[in-house]
Structure 1
Amino acid sequence: MLKKSLTILCLFGSIYSNFAQQVAGKVLTKTNEPIPFATIQIGPNYGVITNEEGSFSIETEGFKASDSVYISCLGFERKGLVLEEFSSKIYKLDEQVNELHEVYVTNRPLTIDSIMYYVNRNLKKNYRPELVRYNVFSRRTEYIVGKDADFEIDKSTGFKKKQLDAFNKDFDGLEKKLVNNKSKQYTEFVGTLFIKDKETSKLKVDKAIRLLDERNDQSVEKLAEKGQELILKHLDKDKVYTVKSGWFKVSDSVSLKENNNKMDDTINSLKFIRNMVHKMVEEHGFSSKTILNFITDTKKYEYEIKDITFIGSEMVYVIRYAPRRSSADFEGTFYVSHETFAILKADYKFAKGRIGEKLNLKLLLGVKYIEQNKKGSVIYKKHKEGYYYPNYMTDQLDRYFYVDRPIKFKDNNSSEKVSFDFKVEGVFKEKNEILVMDESQISISEFNATKEKRKIDYETLKAFDPNYWKDYNVLEPLKEMKEFKVID
């Protein structure tokens, strides 16, 4: 009897272990095109979405072989299967055939004005953006496309020729790194964002990593830090200098001997990261001051119903929008539920000729800055209580920069001077992604009781590790990130 019981237990354990595993695969169309942001769901509240390449990875531990798995995406027929059939492979979805489209449009037409009216009337009912807790996964990708760089000393009363040659040689190396370097850097973390209101939030970080080659780090902070290191290397650290840039005196008393850790404080500051994540959540909310102002500022935009599609049995309007007035910035597509008039998904990009913040003092101060090529998407998920919350947000932005300014260092205690020209031009490219893995409402007392640390302790990796997030259902990385490796 004991032997028989042990056999049954072993058999049960073997069956169960088949489903206590990571399943990785791809979701494609019938023509083998990737389907980004498709949902893979097990049970009512557990799932992941595919990345831009259609790839996903999901942990199935704790579920039974008979549990249902659903793969779905707007515009495609939902595929259902049981967990024992769910394995690491390619899954193909059929495009949704809009059989009800003609009947619906003929028998019960709704104008675009009516749809937008009901959308805005139901915003407060459909979304609860305050006193909320989001369990989030965040990924940030950064790199620079360098166009031009030129750093050179043109005057010096304190350097000999050999010293000038050495200084300029170091600057040449920095120029080449800026223009020729193609490496990207990635920052990821898992944590909990507590939002009190649109102005106030707190962040707890459970785990955080960076993938970067520190020799080629081209963040704004590191570029400035490298320039400072070169100055420290060649100027006398025991002296105090007056620093002038262009027509302006930057400082009356700068000691190069001082150890300045402000840049490291900024990079590792939890406040900096919390503000970035909270701002991204707020930017994908609904008001005239957010990215999604094309929902609320209906007089600024023109709209067109392009199609009707389905997600499961739910009918969805596909609406295109574009600027009607010069004060409108974006164009794209959004999707509206016929049942609740909630926005289920929205895509946006700068309309032709539109840019973001800019500063053009090229002639006066040798500085130019332009935000351009902004684009992104947001997908909302329906809570079991009937309201919606952002499930996935992605935002990309290019920041063009140009700086051409003379910089002078003058020893406060002598006539020694060092003057060099600083010219650099390029584009900072930045992409942020936030996946909300779980959401719940909180009380004001819960928010007040939440404690926040000052810094984030990042772990820096020299190569992509597929097992790093194995205990979390995070967003599957793109192929380029999987191939990241620092070559010694």
Structure 2
Amino acid sequence: MFLKNTSHQLLSICFLLISLSGFSQTITGTILDDKNAPIPFATIQIGEDYGVISNDEGNFNIRISGFKNTDSVYISCMGYEKIGLQVQEFESKEYVLNDFVNELSEVYVTDRKLGVDSILYYINKNASKNYKLDQTALKMFGRRTEYVDGKAADFEIEKSSNFKKKQLEAFNKDFDLLEQSLLNNESKQYTDMVSTLYIKDLKNAKLKIEKAVRLLDERNDQSLEKMADKGNDIVLKHLDTSKVYTVKSGWFTVSDSVSLNNRNDKVSDSINAVRFVREAAFNMVTEVNPITEEPELDFITDSRKYDYELKDFTFLDNEIVYVIGFKPRRGSANYVGTMYVSTQTFAVLRADYAFYPGREGEKLNLRLILGIKYIEKNKAGSVAYKKNSDGYYYPYYIKSEIDRYFYINRPIKFIENESRDKVAFNFKVEGTFKERTEILMLDVNNTTTADFNAVQEGKTLDYETIQQYDASIWKDYNVLEPLQEMKDFKVED
């Protein structure tokens, strides 16, 4: 892959400047269908291994430095006719893909007629030949968008044995501000990152981060960790930090001796811990890999749980593809969607899926006992696979969207150990964490155990925090073109 500008001799540079005036090193464009609607997930590829994918608005951005004018550029998407041109013809503009006129059903079926059960059989039979994950290094660009949709919040001191009226008013005023920040703040947070995930096997991985950038208004950070920090700050502001307290929540003693002077910064540290980022990236990669023990996309591997329908045939590039719809047959099945399967290798080339109506993911309901409830809802995603030079298919693009409903209703008491003075307040909050994560593979390489052992994974991650989107930050990389809402994001003074 070409990730840096290639050096040219002075004469060549002068020739290019003269003969290709206005020639840009970066192409920005939009992929549309013949009805002028944007086409997401279209592939824009130069050569064999270098390319990007269009976003939900059909927009893309790709660097072309290092390629010759006569190198080939291909724009393709499932169900559309492919466009081919040369780099010298490739320019920033709108590109229209025409619908693929499907005459394959009659022609292909008469040549090789397979039922959907047979196709599913060959998908799983060939899985170990088609997919590989161990001893690989995946260089990737990742983007996460997250925000909180607050539904209810109530933080209030119920009683105090040593607070005066004005102190209680000040305490509750700060809590009121925290409530409003949760309920009224619509600010989103964006995190972009280039990293390499080194995978030894299905259980061991290391992450080497090259660059990480956050776009957020830090005053409105609504992550659970930051909400906890803000609550801690209010407690520290109004309680006597020179004293030691026993902290109780509901029926349970949280601690018999808490010194407010010795703040625990583990929560803040966890936000920047590399291991949490690595676990998230590794989980996304493994859950879409059909050879893992319990893949999230069980509609590929466990045909007993789903009903399938062979809907059609289509083209992806020059390959004929089965179009198979699926929906739950059993209550343990979660997803409904469509997958696209190669007629040559029986590899799943793409899958689009979402929770079937009424289905939910992980959940924890201790509302009556502990005042806590958590449910995963509205999960949806897409994954596209591409064959690498080693003959195996790897996820080229992964998108996951999920809502995480949460409810916390906990009484908390601070009891000063010497005087036994008490401060009791109720903490109630309800809302939904909304999260969207995308991964674009920049490069895939085979590695060895020695390579894996040599990787030094850092412990903490230093983000570069910016207040307005700046495309030049990623000028040396091929990244996902941001949605318009991200381009428009700006932290106001």
TM-score, structure 1 as length reference: 0.97
Residue matched to 1:257: 261
**Which of 421, 424, 436 is the equivalent residue of 1:419?**
424
What are the equivalent positions in structure 2 for 1:460-479 lying under 5 Å apart? 460-479=465-484
Q: Deviations over 1:161-216 (max 9, x none)?
A: 00000000111111111001000001111111100011101111111111111110
2:347 is the counterpart of 1:347: no
Q: Deviations over 1:144-169 (max 9, x none)?
A: 00001011111001110000000001
Q: Distance in 1 between matches of 2:12 and 2:409?
A: 77
Residue matched to 1:145: 149
Residue matched to 1:197: 201
2:396 is the counterpart of 1:391: yes
- Residues 123, 285 of structure 1: CA spacing in aligned structure 2 closer, same or farther, 3 A cutoff? same
Residue matched to 1:84: 88
2:381 is the counterpart of 1:376: yes
Look up the SS of the partner of 1:468 in the other structure: helix
Amino acid at match of 2:228: A
CA contact (8 A) 1:39 1:71 kept: yes
Q: CA deviation at 1:34?
A: 1.0
Q: Distance in 1 between matches of 2:368 and 2:386?
A: 49
2:422 is the counterpart of 1:410: no
**Which of 96, 107, 118 is the equivalent residue of 1:114?**
118
Q: CA deviation at 1:255?
A: 1.0
Look up the SS of the partner of 1:251 in the other structure: strand
CA contact (8 A) 1:75 1:310 kept: yes
TM superposition outliers: structure 1 runs of 4+ over 4 Å: 6-9, 16-20
CA contact (8 A) 2:371 2:407 kept: yes
- Residues 152, 101 of structure 1: CA spacing in aligned structure 2 closer, same or farther, 3 A cutoff? same
Amino acid at match of 2:225: E
Q: CA deviation at 1:105?
A: 2.3
Q: CA deviation at 1:18?
A: 5.2
**Which of 465, 472, 485 is the equivalent residue of 2:490?**
485
Look up the SS of the partner of 2:423 in the other structure: strand
Residue matched to 2:251: 247
What are the equivalent positions in structure 2 for 1:226-237 lying under 5 Å apart? 226-237=230-241
Q: Distance in 2 between matches of 1:169 and 1:87?
A: 57
Q: How many residues align?
A: 484
Q: Distance in 2 between matches of 1:152 and 1:207?
A: 42
Q: CA deviation at 1:265?
A: 1.3
- Residues 96, 142 of structure 1: CA spacing in aligned structure 2 closer, same or farther, 3 A cutoff? same
CA contact (8 A) 1:377 1:394 kept: yes
Q: CA deviation at 1:98?
A: 1.1
Look up the SS of the partner of 2:419 in the other structure: coil
Residue matched to 1:219: 223
Q: Distance in 1 between matches of 2:317 and 2:119?
A: 21
Q: Distance in 2 between matches of 1:12 and 1:351?
A: 54
Identical counterparts, % of pairs: 58
Q: Deviations over 1:282-321 (max 9, x none)?
A: 1111146221111111111110011110012210001001
Look up the SS of the partner of 1:467 in the other structure: helix
CA contact (8 A) 1:19 1:65 kept: no
Look up the SS of the partner of 2:228 in the other structure: helix
2:127 is the counterpart of 1:123: yes
Q: Distance in 2 between matches of 1:7 and 1:161?
A: 81
Amino acid at match of 2:218: E
What are the equivalent positions in structure 2 for 1:26-65 lying under 5 Å apart? 26-65=30-69
CA contact (8 A) 1:288 1:296 kept: no
Q: CA deviation at 1:325?
A: 0.8
2:301 is the counterpart of 1:308: no
Q: CA deviation at 1:16?
A: 6.2
- Residues 478, 321 of structure 1: CA spacing in aligned structure 2 closer, same or farther, 3 A cutoff? same
Amino acid at match of 2:393: Y
Q: Distance in 1 between matches of 2:466 and 2:289?
A: 34
TM-score, structure 2 as length reference: 0.96
**Which of 171, 176, 180 is the equivalent residue of 1:176?**
180
Q: Distance in 2 between matches of 1:135 and 1:350?
A: 29
2:134 is the counterpart of 1:134: no
CA contact (8 A) 1:19 1:60 kept: no
Look up the SS of the partner of 2:473 in the other structure: coil
